[in-house]
Homo-oligomer: A and B are copies of this chain.
Amino acid sequence: MENINYFFSPKSVAVIGASREKGKVGYAIFSDLLDKYAGEVIPVNPNATEILGRPCYPDITKVPKDVDLAVISVPAKFVPQVIRGCRKKKVRAVIIISAGFGEIGNKNLEHKILKEKGNMRIVGPNCLGIFDSTSGVDTLFLPEDKLKRPKPGNIAFITQSGAVGSVVLDMLSSEGYGMSKFISYGNGIDLNEIDFLEYLGNDDKTGVICLYIEGTKDGRSLMKTAKKVVKKKPILVLKAGRTHEGTAAVSSHTGSLAGQDEVYDAAFRQAGMIRVDDVRDMFDYAEALSSQPPAKGHNILIVTNGGGFGVVATDEAIHEGLKLPQLADETVKELQKCLPPYVKVHNPLDLGGDADSKRYAAALEIAGSDKNIDAVLCIVLFQTVSLNPEVVDVVAEFAKKSGKPIVTCSAGGEYVQKLMHKLEERGVPVFNSPYMAVKALWCLAKYGEILKKAQ
């Protein structure tokens, strides 16, 4: 554990293969670290004496200071000797960005690295490395204008595939969600998903863990670790290679053994991990889990100003195993006092096409606190004449105070998207289809169930 800390908050970082040439990976990593990381950043490159104003050393062993973390971006064949140097220098942690190892059949080169590593811990090779939103460690080597970095937040991502991880990171950032840590471990010759799962389980900054894997080297210990972690925070897992064809594609992609999907499926279930099938689901579920408490049960309330959307959401909720209970008698009575007589009070609660913010406030406050209700799906069609942007405050206030999970559904063009962003900024997840909103609620109920079982 202690060693793993050096990846996220080292006192000093050396970039081996740092470059002055814009467009090179060694430039992107070095300049990014200089910009964002508060500690010492040291370039290492035999062909330069200075890079971006910092003295450059020909060799890691020539650096006149202690180095906690080394980031390596040199051609694959040079990596073993660089690792030897790092060990001599007593570097604590190493990220090998370089590709050209096991993933193209060069297993031998990986063995050489392992022989040289000593007590050092390694992330990679063939990876994007680490992003830590608090310390500023960032080895992603994709410029900010192409790939946005998320603000600090409580979602962590461990990914075997750099591409999948970086796309989710980019999506989360652009929708205003925050991340704690991002780990792309590539071939995982030393540290892998299991080590980081355990680490993130104990990380105060992390509230939700997302995991993308194509295979694992040790299913038993992955499950054992996961079982411990899910008592503290939810784990979402996207395991690619479900079908015969997908499995074949995996073996060509990372050389992992994808294994029998049924076995994975049962194991994930037993360990209390929540399995997703798609990148978008992973992203949507993480949004919901990062801001909302788990639901205590499967009973939901649907509130809407679009009857059709309410019906579609109801169909989908039932289909996903959620329930729409009757509202308690006293709830119905109280609602009838506040709502116009033509609004029929039941669940789903259709407030009418002429609903305003006040009607939403009454519905959420009264029906939302009904003892039969575990969670709320609030559909808001911002386009209607009678609804003004104030409804954002109404929903956000309810989310803050109620103690029950809420997700919202809205969709439309620019005007609506602005208001959707506002809701998200205030910690209320918004989905652009009833289907995704219902699935997110399902996920919150699922995690509630997992927690109950784990007790």
Contacts and interface: CB of A to CB of B under 8 A. Distances in A.
A9 interface: no
A353 to B, nearest CB: 6
A238 to B, nearest CB: 7
A259 interface: no
Contacts of A346: 252
A172 to B, nearest CB: 9
A385 B25 contact: yes
Interface string A81-113: 000000000000000000100001000000000
Interface in A44-80: none
Interface in A412-455: 412-417, 432-436
Given A141-B385, A160-B308, A166-B383, A413 B25 contact: no
Interface stretch (A197-205, A313-321, A328-336, A392-400): A313-321
A191 interface: no
A421 to B, nearest CB: 13
A314 B249 contact: yes
A319 B240 CA distance: 13
A17 to B, nearest CB: 15
A360 interface: no
Contacts of A173: 413
Given A141-B385, A146-B382, A311 B167 contact: no
A162 B314 CA distance: 18
Chain A interface size band reads 35 or more
Interface stretch (A32-40, A275-283, A289-297): A275-283
A145 B414 CA distance: 8
Given A306-B167, A346-B252, A240 B311 contact: yes
A417 B174 contact: yes
Interface-centre pick from A145, A305, A312, A385 (highest chain B CB count, 10 A):
A312
B163 A308 contact: yes
Given A171-B412, A174-B417, A315 B277 contact: yes
Nearest to A410: B167
Nearest to A168: B411
A84 B285 CA distance: 56
Contacts of A141: 385
Given A161-B308, A163-B309, A306-B161, A240 B315 contact: yes
Interface in A135-191: 141-142, 145-148, 159-164, 166-167, 170-171, 173-174
Interface of A: 23, 25, 28, 99, 104, 141-142, 145-148, 159-164, 166-167, 170-171, 173-174, 212, 214, 238, 240-246, 249-250, 252-254, 277-281, 305-312, 314-319, 324, 342, 344, 346, 348, 350, 353, 381-385, 411-417, 432-436
20 contacts: A23-B385, A25-B385, A147-B383, A163-B306, A164-B306, A166-B383, A170-B413, A212-B308, A240-B312, A240-B315, A241-B311, A243-B315, A245-B315, A249-B348, A252-B346, A253-B310, A277-B316, A278-B316, A280-B433, A281-B435
